[in-house]
Amino acid sequence: MAARVEGIAGRRLDKAQYAENFADLHPRLTGHEALVEADRCYFCYDAPCMTACPTSINIPLFIRQISTGHPKNAAKTIFDQNILGGMCARVCPTETLCEEVCVREKAEGKPVKIGQLQRYATDELMAEKKHPFTRANPTGKKVAVVGGGPAGLACAHRLSMHGHEVTIFEARKKAGGLNEFGIAAYKTVDDFAAREVEFVLAIGGIAVKTGKAFGKGLKLKDLQHDFDAVFLGMGLQGVNALGAKHEDADGIEDAVNYIAELRQAKDLGKLPVGRRVLVIGGGMTAIDIAIQSKLLGAEDVTILYRRGPEHMKASAYEQELAQTKGVKIKHWVQPKKVLTKGKKAIGLKCDYVKEVKGKLEPTGESLEIGADMIFKAIGQTAIDVTGGALALSGGRIIIDAEKRTSVKGIWAGGDCVAGGQDLTVAAVDDGRRAAESIHAYLMS
């Protein structure tokens, strides 16, 4: 039972309740469950799931390997394409990727649980504590990777496999990127993100230098000089502004920052959360912060989104998950002004809006909602940290199919590039492809 303390407060729940609330969303399949689920796969020809996977994992093959009693071979099949297959199994919106196109989704509305099978397989191999890949003979080439998130890790791993020496420059205190500092806690329990980083680095040949970022001593020019190639995968640094009055009032938080804090918290009870929480946004971050606020003991949590459910970047499954956890989602409302008492935010005034010729227009009606805490989850923005060296589009780095930037010797991938999908799995694919391109470049 949550303590109904007004305002923003920690310790709303007892210890056991925090533990229960933040337990694994989908506990791993047992061996028998995995066999039964694997048997549902039809081993499709030119399988749609494989095409839908941004990293093109050979899904029918890995499922068949599970069904014949070799989950570790299955994991190898997964890691061949996606070294962060363990995290992707937990956080991929499979309902809009592989499982959406599974023929059993079409046949009976129940796709093969590809994500859960992938988790089963990768868990089995990772428990072995034996890295499944070996490095090629040393090439003597050195590559700098900026950013230790999914893109950087995937790139570094593949480069190391090809025998190159890699140095990862990471801005934070530890590598992992959004896997470690973003993503809902209940999707990656038991410090999985950190364990996965350890697993990736176990191939050897990858040095991680933390506390290193552009603008904080790290210079692109130096990297170009000191290394044979550079990969940029530093994600996004900025957070979109709301554009509402009194946006800087107390009690208004960036969801991204709050989640980072939550992910690193040793004691969830120390995290203060409002009794009544508003979340502004329609993407995964909005869903993640809304659910986690609820799990931290907030009594009422409402997501405000300016368009309809079908426009939300969060999938229908994620929206439903939030609603199941007791989160309310209000559509077609746009924050106009933060209501304040002194310096404190006490609510939001919103306009009801409608779409006219693709643009949002106020309907003339408005609404005031009280709150102790307001989260902004309206997207991250790119800040040009490379000092104008690279061609950008909308602030993000322009790359070609091989992930090459406009400058020879520099590749980029993940959230910092233009036209991306802002997904872990897409970042991993960028990293691996870039590594292959870098390898070809270095060896030619």
Partner 1 sequence: MADLRTNFVGIKSPNPFWLASAPPTDKEYNVVRAFQAGWGGVVWKTLGEEGPPIVNVNGPRYGAIHGADRRLLGLNNIELITDRPLQINLQEIKKVKREWPDRAMVVSLMVPCDELPWKQILAAVDETGADAVELNFGCPHGMSERGMGASVGQVPEYIEMVARWCKQHTRMPVIVKLTPNITDIRYPARAAMKGGADAVSLINTISSIISIDLDNFSPMPSIDGKGSHGGYCGPAVKPIALNMVAEIARDRETAGLPISGIGGITNWRDAAEFIALSCGSVQVCTAAMTYGFKIVEEMTTGLARWMDEKGYRTIEDFRSRAVGNVTDWQYLNLNYIAKAKINQDLCIKCGRCYAACEDTSHQAIMQSKNGKRHFEVLDNECVACNLCVEVCPVEDCITMVQQTTGTDARTGRKVNRDYANWTTHPNNPMALKAAE
Q: Which residues bind partner 1 (CB under 8 A)?
A: 32, 35-36, 38-39, 42-48, 67, 103-104, 106-107
State the nearest-atom distance from the C-beta of 105 to partner 1, in Å: 9
Report the half-sphere exposure of 223 (CA within 13 A, side-chain side): 26
State the nearest-atom distance from the C-beta of 101 to partner 1, in Å: 9
Question: Distance of alpha carbon 101 from its chain centroid, rounded?
Answer: 22
State the nearest-atom distance from the C-beta of 48 to partner 1, in Å: 7
Q: Which residues of 173-204 are buried (b: 16+ CB within 10 A; e: fewer)?
A: eebbbbbbbbbbbbbbeeebbeebbebbbebe
Question: Distance of alpha carbon 57 from its chain centroid, rounded?
Answer: 19
Nearer to partner 1, 44 or 265 (CB): 44
Nearer to partner 1, 43 or 221 (CB): 43
**Cα angle for residues 204, 207, 209 (degrees, 5° grid):** 155
Nearer to partner 1, 3 or 107 (CB): 107
Candidates 84, 282, 346; CA nearest to 197 is 84
Instruction: Specify whether the CB–CB gap between 402 and 437 falls below 8 A.
Output: yes
Instruction: Specify whether the CB–CB gap between 322 and 295 falls below 8 A.
Output: no
Question: Distance of alpha carbon 139 from its chain centroid, rounded?
Answer: 33
Nearer to partner 1, 103 or 194 (CB): 103
Nearer to partner 1, 15 or 106 (CB): 106
Neighbours of 420 (CB within 10 A): 19
Nearer to partner 1, 69 or 138 (CB): 69
State the nearest-atom distance from the C-beta of 103 to partner 1, in Å: 4
Sheet with 328-330, side-by-side order of all strands: 252-254, 373-376, 276-280, 300-304, 328-330
State the nearest-atom distance from the C-beta of 42 to partner 1, in Å: 4
State the nearest-atom distance from the C-beta of 61 to partner 1, in Å: 13
Nearer to partner 1, 108 or 190 (CB): 108
Nearer to partner 1, 116 or 292 (CB): 116
Nearer to partner 1, 42 or 393 (CB): 42
State the nearest-atom distance from the C-beta of 95 to partner 1, in Å: 18
Nearer to partner 1, 49 or 382 (CB): 49
Candidates 404, 431, 435, 400; CA nearest to 415 is 431
Question: Alpha-carbon distance 365 to 187, whole Å?
Answer: 39
* Rg for the chain, CA atoms, rounded: 23
Nearer to partner 1, 104 or 142 (CB): 104
Question: Alpha-carbon distance 331 to 324, whole Å?
Answer: 17
Neighbours of 350 (CB within 10 A): 24
Question: Alpha-carbon distance 33 to 1, whole Å?
Answer: 34
Instruction: Specify whether the CB–CB gap between 220 and 231 falls below 8 A.
Output: no
State the nearest-atom distance from the C-beta of 221 to partner 1, in Å: 47
State the nearest-atom distance from the C-beta of 423 to partner 1, in Å: 24
State the nearest-atom distance from the C-beta of 114 to partner 1, in Å: 14
CA-CA-CA-CA torsion sign (186, 84, 178, 243):
negative
Question: Alpha-carbon distance 385 to 416, whole Å?
Answer: 10
State the nearest-atom distance from the C-beta of 121 to partner 1, in Å: 16
